[in-house]
């Protein structure tokens, strides 16, 4: 591609401000520079163009014919840029780019998004599955949802909107074959999620019990696969309550030992400072939805 042959853009901006406002002082105030800086930029532009762009006494400068031609072109071009820039910013203000842990997005958030859009029809939510710490300076997100005990407050604001409870789940048919209580669960194949292998140990600590070694273990890449394996009767999996509340209510999964609270909570995270309008609207909606989330079955007395 042919390289553009343009004068310095800083000089063009200084000249356009002077041509539009009619005074060096006003142009300097608008661009937050000195009167002398505007004068130097215009002189450099004249040298680059090879023609005078202004004429007359120092304090009553006016545009030459060449200056008027350049000012008209700049005015038209910058007006178009300004309109496009405003349109882009307006579109950005109407979109929320959300980074979210995948299973929460699939099993709880996305099924409820129609309610958000009904309340805010002009806003768009783009959900991207992601894990680990979010870096708003390097990643293209406006907000994030993470499950964590604590969110470091380095340039972000985080609000815990949902408590986390976890417990074992399995198919109702498999549950019926082993009977209630820890003894029955202990005899089943145990389903592990590769991204969080300590989950069963943590659950035992929260429940203050020991299951012992299972007869078999199966490992799955993602908790979504673990839950599908549990529903298919392959064994017993461990999950946060909010991921399976709908399946338990529908009878697709059984939770014979209930769910116990964990120290971790679901947090809504956004960059510190003035919030983006779409992020603020989403935060308020998210808190309202979380307040209506069903409470989990309490840990079974048989398991205590």
Residue 17: pLDDT band by 50, 70, 90 thresholds?
very high
Cross-strand bridge partners of residue 60:
none
pLDDT digits (tens, 9 = 90+) for 39-57: 999 999 999 999 999 999 8
pLDDT of residue 179: 79
Residue 261: pLDDT band by 50, 70, 90 thresholds?
very high
- Tell me the pLDDT of the chain averaged across its residues: 91
Tell me whether strands 54-55 and 95-100 are parallel, antiparallel or unpaired. unpaired
Lateral strand order in the sheet of 156-169: 124-129, 95-100, 143-148, 260-271, 156-169, 236-240, 190-193, 217-220
Residues 279-283, mean pLDDT to the nearest whole number = 94
Residues 144/147/148/149 CA torsion (nearest 10 deg): 120
114: which residues sit within 8 A by CB, 6+ positions away? Answer: none
Residue 132: pLDDT band by 50, 70, 90 thresholds?
confident
User: Does residue 109 contact residue 145 with C-beta atoms inside 8 Å?
Assistant: yes
pLDDT digits (tens, 9 = 90+) for 155-210: 899 999 999 999 999 999 999 998 778 988 999 999 999 989 999 999 999 999 99
Please tell me the distance from the alpha carbon of residue 83 to that of residue 94, in angstroms, as a whole number. 17
Q: Which domains does the chain have, with CATH numbers?
A: 9-90 (1.10.10.10), 94-304 (3.40.190.290)
Please tell me the distance from the alpha carbon of residue 245 to that of residue 251, in angstroms, as a whole number. 10
pLDDT of residue 1: 65
Cross-strand bridge partners of residue 148:
265
pTM over 0.75: no
In this predicted structure, the answer to whether residue 302 has a pLDDT above a threshold of 50 is no
């Amino acid at each position: 591609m042919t390289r553009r042959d343009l004068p310095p853009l800083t000089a063009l901006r200084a000249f356009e401000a002077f041509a539009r406002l009619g005074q060096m002082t006003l142009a300097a105030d608008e661009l937050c520079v000195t009167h002398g800086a505007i004068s130097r930029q215009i002189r450099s532009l004249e040298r680059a163009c090879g023609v005078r762009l202004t004429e007359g006494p120092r304090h009553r400068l006016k545009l030459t014919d060449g200056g008027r031609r350049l000012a008209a072109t700049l005015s038209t071009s910058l007006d178009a840029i300004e309109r496009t820039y405003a349109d882009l910013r307006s579109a950005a203000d109407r979109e929320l780019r959300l980074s979210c842990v995948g299973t929460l997005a699939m099993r709880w958030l996305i099924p409820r998004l129609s309610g958000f859009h009904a309340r805010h029809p002009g806003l768009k939510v783009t959900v991207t599955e992601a894990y680990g710490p979010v870096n708003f300076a390097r990643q293209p997100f406006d907000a994030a949802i993470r499950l964590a005990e604590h969110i470091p407050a380095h340039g972000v604001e985080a609000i815990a909107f949902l408590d986390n409870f976890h417990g074992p789940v399995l198919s109702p048919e498999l549950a019926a074959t082993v009977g209630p209580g820890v003894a029955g669960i202990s005899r089943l194949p145990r389903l592990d999620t590769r991204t969080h292998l300590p989950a069963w140990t943590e659950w035992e600590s929260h429940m203050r019990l020991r299951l012992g070694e299972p007869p078999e273990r199966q490992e799955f890449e993602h908790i979504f696969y673990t839950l599908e394996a549990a529903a298919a009767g392959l064994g017993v999996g461990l999950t946060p309550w909010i991921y399976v509340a709908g399946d338990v209510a529908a009878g697709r999964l059984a939770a014979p030992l209930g769910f116990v609270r964990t120290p971790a909570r679901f947090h809504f995270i956004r960059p510190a400072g003035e919030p983006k309008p779409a992020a603020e609207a989403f935060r308020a909606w998210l808190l309202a939805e979380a307040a209506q989330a069903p409470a989990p079955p309490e840990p079974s007395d048989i398991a205590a």
